[in-house]
Structure 1
Amino acid sequence: MTIAHTEQVLKALMLLSLDGDEAAYRRLLTALRVLLVGYYSRRMASAMKADMEDLVQETLLALHSRRATYDRERAFTAWFFSIARYKLIDHHRGRGGRRMAETELGEEFESDFDEEGLTARLDVERLLEGLSPKQQELIRQVKLEGQSVADTAKRTGQSESAVKVGIHRALKALGERLRGTS
């Protein structure tokens, strides 16, 4: 997923579109079209690729007709890709591909669009919001992205000791917040 196709960006565009922002809705549809082409191209036989554009359009129309049902508290990409998945299943069934449709039913979402993973990421982001921007960046780089303390120190212009202390204090603050003592 590119930066423009992250859960955070797509959800923000969806929320803006639900609030009446037509430009955000157009950007959302453009981004989702790109994602759908990739999603369907990996799941359709080459003989069915000609149907892919129709399937993309059907899915975007389904999004349009169901967007009022979207729960603003839930992960957007998981919701959207469940629509895409069932459109693909319907497509296979409509072409007599019951076996293919049954295979699709058993398949999990792409790892980037796993609802539990997205929910966990959203929870982590909410937790990080309680930290200073500097602490948030240190936690993201070292603990979430797995970068070294040395690399993070170079990128942030801090000493390695300052990075370690910053991370320690951030983790302590997160722990207190989780325990409800802060």
Structure 2
Amino acid sequence: MTSAHSEEALKAMMLLSLDGDEVAYRRLLNAVRVLLVGYYSRRMAAATKADMEDLVQETLLALHSRRETYDRERPFTAWFFSIARYKLIDHHRGRGGRMMAETELGEDFESDDHEEAISARMDVERLLESLPAKQRELIRQVKLEGQSVADTASRTGQSESAVKVGIHRGLKALAEKLRGGK
């Protein structure tokens, strides 16, 4: 993610679009489209590209039709990703994934903790985007998804040692970036 995908940038574009700025609205749609592709690809590994594109388009249409309901005082990303989550639940229900949909619906969408978690996740994703793809995926699998080093090594075709080194180097690069380095 880039700074165009930060909470502040997205909210600013949304507010401008609500005030009639069509250029800001087009920029907002392009920015959230990128976020949706990443959001859905992580949650729909087995989906076809057409299914994913349909879901992205449905979510963008929902954003368009519901944008007047957006509360200007609330974080944009929490509001937007709750729409995306509902669209994902509808998609799973339509495909017979009732248990998954019921589990998703049981979560509290409106809590401040949820908004902070979404914002934190966006920050982490933005940081990870600065890493090479292999390191980024290793960190996602082991550190964020909680998979074992052995499973990740097996899945990626690398040795356990190579996975550990990749993660270490990636985390070291992220730490340097957070300290203001390259």
The TM-score normalised by the length of structure 1 is: 0.59
Q: Is the 8 A contact 2:5 2:31 kept in 1?
A: yes
Superposed counterparts of 1:101-112, under 5 Å: 101-105=101-105
Distance in 2 (CA, whole Å) between partners of 1:50 and 1:118 is: 26
Amino acid at match of 2:38: G
Give the greater-gyration-radius structure (CA): 1
Superposed counterparts of 1:7-86, under 5 Å: 7-86=7-86
Aligned residues: 122
| Overall identity of the aligned pairs, in % | 80
Alpha-carbon shift at residue 114 of structure 1 (Å)? 3.9
Identify unmatched segments of 5+ residues in structure 1: 121-144, 153-182
Q: Which residue of 2 aligns with 1:5?
A: 5
Q: Which residue of 1 aligns with 2:126?
A: none
**Larger CA deviation: 81-90 vs 38-47:** 38-47
Identify unmatched segments of 5+ residues in structure 2: 121-176
Q: Which residue of 2 aligns with 1:93?
A: 93
The TM-score normalised by the length of structure 2 is: 0.59
**Structure 1 stretches of at least 4 aligned residues deviating more than 2 Å after TM superposition:** 47-50, 102-109, 116-120
Distance in 1 (CA, whole Å) between partners of 2:105 and 2:77 is: 18
Amino acid at match of 1:46: A
Amino acid at match of 2:37: V
Secondary structure of 2:71 counterpart: coil
CA separation of 1:5 and 1:119: change in aligned 2, threshold 3 A: closer
Alpha-carbon shift at residue 49 of structure 1 (Å)? 4.1
Provide the aligned C-alpha RMSD in A. Answer: 2.8
